[in-house]
Structures are given as C-alpha cells and as structure tokens.
C-alpha cells in the first residue's frame, strides 16, 4: 500500500470507490475528515485504487491508498494507524462484513461502521446509519454495548450545507433552473436520457449538467451535445462543490444517493431516477415524507415520465412545500455528529 507521511491521528476513515458503487463513500469520508479538524481532532483517510485522484486532492488530511480492503489488508492498516497514534477507525464501504470488523478489532481498534443498507451482523462498537428507510437500519450484534446512531441527522454532508440550510428559500413562477446531478459515475447513463428529454423543455430554462469525477459516458455525451446543441446546457465537470449550484435551482434530478440528502438540506425539490434498489426505496421514503418524487429507474425512464415529473413541480407553491419538507429532514450538521460519536468511543479496544 502506498501512503503519504502521516501525523499522529485520532481517527482513521476507510472509504471505497469503484465504477459500480461510485464515489459517494469517499466524498462522505472527506466531509468527516473536515469535521474532525473543526473538532480539533486529527484524521487520516484510507482509500482503494479505484478512487479518482481529483477527489483525493480535496482531502484536508493525509491520504493513503490501500491495495484493497480485504481482511489481511485491514490487519496491516490497523497496525499502521495504531503506530500513528490512532485507536478509532470508521469504515465507509458499500457492504461492510463482520470479518472486516474483526480484523480491525484484532489490530486494537475501536471500530465504527458507516452503513446505509442494514440487515447485517456487526460486532463493532458503533453503527452510523443515516438512511431514512427504517428497514435499512436493522442489525444483529454480539456486543451488548453497541451504539446506534441512525437517521438523516447523521448524514455526513460537506460543511457548506449547514450554512445553505439556514438560507431562506422562495419560489416564484415557472421552473427556470434545472440541475442534473446523477452521481460520480452515472452507471446507467441517466444523464443522457435527461438531456434528450430536456431538449423539449422551454428554451428559456437554464439546464445544468453535473459530471462527476468518474463519469462513464463522456463520448456519448459529447456526441449528444453536438446533435442537440451544447449551448442549451451548462456543464459542470468535476466541481469541487455542489452546494451553491443545487441551492440556486428550482428542481433537480438525482439518482437517490447522497445528493438526495443534499437537495433536501438546501430545499431544492428532487426528482429521483434511481440506479439501485436501495436508492429506489430511499426515493420512495423521501416522497412519503413530502420531499421529492421517485420517477423511476434511470436506466428506463422515458421522456414523457421525465417531463411529466417536471410539469408537476412547475407550480411554485408545490415546490415550496417540497422545500420545507426536505429542510425539516436534513440540517447539514451530520458530519459533526459522526465525529462526536467517534470521539465518544473509549480510547482502548
């Protein structure tokens, strides 16, 4: 494993990325590391080789690249971070396994797991699950003192979102600004379907397209923009921050991952074109709470479905109601709560 020189750390955050799962775990890890600094705590970040280097440049702490997160690799990581003075580890994997937790605990770590899917056995010290879906918060554990921190209050968003959450929102007239933010990879190519559909939306509406660090369809996108007219869309490639853009728009399209929470926080109504089953359930749960609408699968959404969903939100009073509901669910202070929960763990394993 390759690594940068590291200071003595209080918390190590382990996060994975891949073309399949995207980059959301690493983005969350960076937000947590920033929150650690604001709490006068040291942090170090461990990622795998699939993490886009553009994301690593934003980290406010030492970054290490591990070969993988197998049990053998985690045992080595535990020894290394303990040498750095660290006794607390937070994992942020798509599907953490109890064997991985055991490898870290054998290395002398107190272990927290950031997980959004549930239905696991985890003999860790702390589970942080920001999911809104109650069925995603079920765990079995052999540890009687396992601490559970669940719900959107623990979603680790970037520090800008707490400030944007406090900013007043108002909605007037028709939709004039739309943003498409389909995740770091956009595995299903939903961005292409959205662009095709939104060529039929009023020409005086500004249409923003966010391309994440791992966007997988650049050639097809360029060909489509050549055909429909690139001037009709504003591209944002690998933006360092999304908050101001999301907060400035009337409506947003998202895949239903972390960006859905970001939109709720800033009060911009969301239309969900999900990639995975858990994102489908999440979009439905947000809709049931009064925020956004789950339109359908990003791989199959039709232009009629997309434009119909926009039509439903063309009423400013309806957008305002969605905005208020979203802001009641997510306040943008989750990363600080995650750090506080980790720092509350006793120092000795």
Q: DSSP characters for 248-276?
A: H-SEEEE-SSHHHHHHHHHT--EEEEESS
pLDDT at 92 over 60: yes
**Rg of the chain (C-alpha set):** 20
Question: Across residues 101-105, what is the average pLDDT?
Answer: 98
Domain boundaries, the chain: 2-157+332-343, 160-329
Distance CA 327, CA 182 (A): 21
Whole-prediction pTM = 0.92
Q: Of the candidates 96, 7, 16, which has an alpha carbon nearest to the alpha carbon of residue 44?
A: 7
- The per-residue pLDDT for 346 is 59
Q: Which fold has domain 2-157+332-343?
A: Rossmann fold (3.40.50)
Tens of pLDDT, residue by residue over 194-228, are: 999 999 888 689 999 999 878 889 999 999 998 88
Per CATH, domain 160-329 is 1.10.10.10? no
Residue 347 pLDDT class (50, 70, 90 cuts): very low
pLDDT at 141 over 70: yes
């Amino acid at each position: 494993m390759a690594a940068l020189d590291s200071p003595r750390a209080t918390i190590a955050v382990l996060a994975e990325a891949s073309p399949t799962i995207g980059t959301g775990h690493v983005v969350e890890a960076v937000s947590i590391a920033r929150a650690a600094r604001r709490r006068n705590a040291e942090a170090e970040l461990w990622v795998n080789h699939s993490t886009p280097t553009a994301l690593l440049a934003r980290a406010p702490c030492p970054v290490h690249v591990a070969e993988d997160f197998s049990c053998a690799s985690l045992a080595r990581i535990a020894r290394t971070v303990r040498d750095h003075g660290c006794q607390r580890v937070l994992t942020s994997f798509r599907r953490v396994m109890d064997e991985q937790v055991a490898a870290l605990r054998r290395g002398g770590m107190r272990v927290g797991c950031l997980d959004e899917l549930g239905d696991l056995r985890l003999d860790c010290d702390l589970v942080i699950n920001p999911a809104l879906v109650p069925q995603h918060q079920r765990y079995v554990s052999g540890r009687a003192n396992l601490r559970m921190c669940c719900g959107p209050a623990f979603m680790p968003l970037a520090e800008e979102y707490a400030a944007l959450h406090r900013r007043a929102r108002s909605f007037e007239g028709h939709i004039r600004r739309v943003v498409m933010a389909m995740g770091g990879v956009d595995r299903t190519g939903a961005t292409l379907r959205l662009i095709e559909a939104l060529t039929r939306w009023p020409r005086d509406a500004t249409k923003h397209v966010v391309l994440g660090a791992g966007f997988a369809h650049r050639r097809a996108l360029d060909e489509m923009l050549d055909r429909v007219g690139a001037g009709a869309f504003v591209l944002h490639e690998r933006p360092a921050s999304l908050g101001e853009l999301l907060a400035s728009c009337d409506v947003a399209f998202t895949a239903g991952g972390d960006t859905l929470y970001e939109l709720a926080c800033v009060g911009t109504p969301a239309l969900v074109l999900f990639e995975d089953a858990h994102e489908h359930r999440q979009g439905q749960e947000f809709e049931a709470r009064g925020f956004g609408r789950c339109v359908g699968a990003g791989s199959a959404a039709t232009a009629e479905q997309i434009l119909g969903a926009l039509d439903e939100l063309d009423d400013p009073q309806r957008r305002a109601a969605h905005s208020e509901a979203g802001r009641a669910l997510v306040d943008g202070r989750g990363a600080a709560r995650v750090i506080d929960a980790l720092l509350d763990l006793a120092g000795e394993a």
